Structure formats: structure tokens, C-alpha cells
Structure 1
Amino acid sequence: MLHRQTLAATAAGILLAGGIGATIPAGATTAPSRTTAPTTAQVVDVRWGGHRTFDRLVIDVRGTMPPVSVKPVKELRYDGSGNRVPLAGKFFLEIKLSPAAAHNEAGQSVYKGPRLVRIHLPALRGVALTGDFEGVVTIGAAFQNKPHYRTFVLHSPERFVLDVAHTAPFCGW
């Protein structure tokens, strides 16, 4: 009788192990891959350039581009503290990327762009990283004149583009 119970327990163990193994797809690994894109988009840089009829602001993103909103605001404020951002200008745009972060999962900054910089282009006068707070990255842009702008996304690598006309809006904008 003892032999029969041992045999039954062994058979049950084999079947149980086989059943568990069948639920894991072949070739699956349990360790996370180090080469995959981050699960939350990471804002890694902000850069700009002047062109003949417009200035361009580019936000570089690692991972999939998150939804982006751009809205005019009366002044720029740092997220979290609410302190005023010291950029000169009469008009401001607030650019929000969410869900996004400017840091990695270990809390280390991945953002290599400017925190606050004055710019001397015909339209764009300054840029600031105003927030990396609760899954939202906020960037502020300052202008002397009301900005007439268009936005779009480019891929490979992922980047958000804001073009601001030097004067009246371009034809077709």
C-alpha cells in the first residue's frame, strides 16, 4: 500500500510539473530584456534651431511617443513647487508629454537637455524643463511675440517638433 501511495504522489508531481510547464510558452524568459524600450516614454533632450522663416524646437523621446499637448499660458510655473520660471518673454507655451518621465526606473535623470536657457532667435527666446512629476514631463517655451506654430511627430528616432513662424503664420499652417 505504501508503494502505491508513493507511486501516486510521484505521478501527481510529474503531471503537476508538466501542467505548469505547458502554461509557459516555449522560448519565454522570466528575466526582463535589457534591450527593450522603456515602458514609460523617456524625454531625453530638447534642442532648437533657427531657420529662414521659422524657429524649431525638438523634444527627443526614448520609447513610444506619448500624447503631447501644447497650450498658451500667461506664465510658466515649475510643476510641484508652483514657483515662477525666470524666462523673459510676453508669451509662453506649455508642452506636456504624458505618460512620460525624464528619469529612469532607478530615479536617475535621463534628460540631457537644458534645465533653463535663454535663446536669441527671432521667435524663440527661451526654453525650460518645468516638470518631471507624476508621469508628466513639462517643457516651457518663451516668446516676445504671440507664437504662430504647428506641431508634428517624427519617428526613428521618436521626436516631437514645434515650428514657430517668425512673423504671420505660413501659408498652409
Structure 2
Amino acid sequence: MHHRHTLAAVAAGILSIAGIGATIPADATTTPHRSTTAQGTALVVNARWGGHATFDRLVIDTRGAVPSVTVRQVSALHQDGSGQRVPLAGKYFLEIRLSPAAAHDDAGRSVYRGPRLLKIHLPVLKGVALTGDFEGVVTVGAAFDTKPVHKAFRLHGPERFVVDIAHPVGCRA
């Protein structure tokens, strides 16, 4: 315990010499990190999926209320910012945009624990990619071999956004 207090005092001294103010918690090793992202900005923390008898489901988990979301079919997926094409196999794509949202905290550390780019073997859902976390917008892409017929909605406790994509009854991957 003494070592932690000494370390905190040394760090505070260095910061004050450098002219940088700091507040160091009493027990910095066990204090949980809480994001101070602007109030109203949801944190996108995961994307997950599952296959069901008549549909595949894509779920985007958030910390904080689910923000405004748009789901639209696009001809290809592109990385936000760079515009580079996302190398996710498929003939059809859905782009899911959450705003205001972030997949990182105020220090720039990623809070997103889901796939960055992943091939999936479900009846209709064939891949998922995080395609953007830029200027208050988080974008997730989904890939399909057939034109997706989908419905989207919010669920609470925990907060999440859901996209169900229909497939024929009894369809197997």
C-alpha cells in the first residue's frame, strides 16, 4: 500500500513540475475506469450474432441509451474516414450507423470488444465488421449472399440494438 502512495506522490510531483494538474484517486489500481464521454453519447461495446429457426440476429450492445440508428442497404462497405473498401465477402450489405456514439473513451482507448472483421457461417448472415468510429458516429457493416429482409429494433436491460434477418424455415448453414 505504501508503494502505491509513494508512486502517486511522485507522479503528482512530476505532473506539477511539468505544469500539468492532475487528480489521482486514493487507490488508482482498483478504481474502475468510467468514461466521461459527452453526456448523451452512447458507447458501442460489442457486436454479437446468433442463428434461429427463421432468422439470423445481429446485436449491437451499448453502454448508455441506444442512440439514433439508421440501417440501410449499400452496394459495398467502406471504412469511415479513409473510404477504403472493407474486405468482407458478400453480394449484399447492410450499413448500421449509430449516432451520437463512440467505440472509444475520452482517452482514445477502445471500449469495443466485438469483431473488427469476421466471417460468419449462418444461413444468411455471412460477416460483420466495425467500419467506423469517427466524429460521433459508429458504423457496423453486415454481409450477406442473398438480399437481406430485415427488421430492426431496440431492446433494454441491457441496452442493445437488434437486426433480425429472415431466412426460410429449416434453413441450415
TM-score normalised by L of structure 2 = 0.75
Provide Cα deviations, 1:72-112, integer angstroms capped at 9, x if missing partner: 00000000111000011100000000000000011100000
How far is the alpha carbon of 1:35 from its aligned partner? 6.6
Root-mean-square deviation (CA, aligned residues, Å) is: 1.7
Tell me which residue corresponds to 2:155.
154
Q: What are the residue-to-residue correspondences of 1:118-137 with 2, within 5 Å? A: 118-137=119-138
SS of the counterpart of 2:164?
A: strand
Check whether the contact 1:37–1:62 (CA below 8 A) recurs between aligned residues.
no
Q: Could you list the runs of 5+ residues in structure 2 that have no partner in the other structure?
A: 1-32
Tell me which residue corresponds to 1:104.
105
Provide Cα deviations, 1:113-142, integer angstroms capped at 9, x if missing partner: 000000010010000000000000000000
Q: Report the Cα distance in structure 1 between the residues aligned to 2:66 and 2:56, rounded to whole angstroms.
A: 22
Letter in 2 for 1:117: L
Q: Could you list the runs of 5+ residues in structure 1 that have no partner in the other structure?
A: 1-33, 169-173
SS of the counterpart of 2:43?
A: strand
* 89 and 37 in structure 1: CA distance in 2 versus 1, 3 angstrom threshold: same
Check whether the contact 2:93–2:143 (CA below 8 A) recurs between aligned residues.
yes
TM-score normalised by L of structure 1 = 0.75
Check whether the contact 1:55–1:122 (CA below 8 A) recurs between aligned residues.
yes
The percent of aligned pairs where both chains have the same amino acid is: 67
Q: Report the Cα distance in structure 2 between the residues aligned to 1:154 and 1:115, rounded to whole angstroms.
A: 23
Check whether the contact 2:36–2:105 (CA below 8 A) recurs between aligned residues.
no
How far is the alpha carbon of 1:36 from its aligned partner? 8.6
Letter in 2 for 1:42: L
Q: Report the Cα distance in structure 2 between the residues aligned to 1:75 and 1:88, rounded to whole angstroms.
A: 10
* 81 and 155 in structure 1: CA distance in 2 versus 1, 3 angstrom threshold: same
Q: Report the Cα distance in structure 1 between the residues aligned to 2:132 and 2:35, rounded to whole angstroms.
A: 25
How far is the alpha carbon of 1:156 from its aligned partner? 1.2
Structure 1's consecutive aligned runs of 4 or more residues displaced over 3 angstroms after TM superposition are 34-38
Letter in 2 for 1:113: G
Tell me which residue corresponds to 1:88.
89
Provide Cα deviations, 1:8-36, integer angstroms capped at 9, x if missing partner: xxxxxxxxxxxxxxxxxxxxxxxxxx879
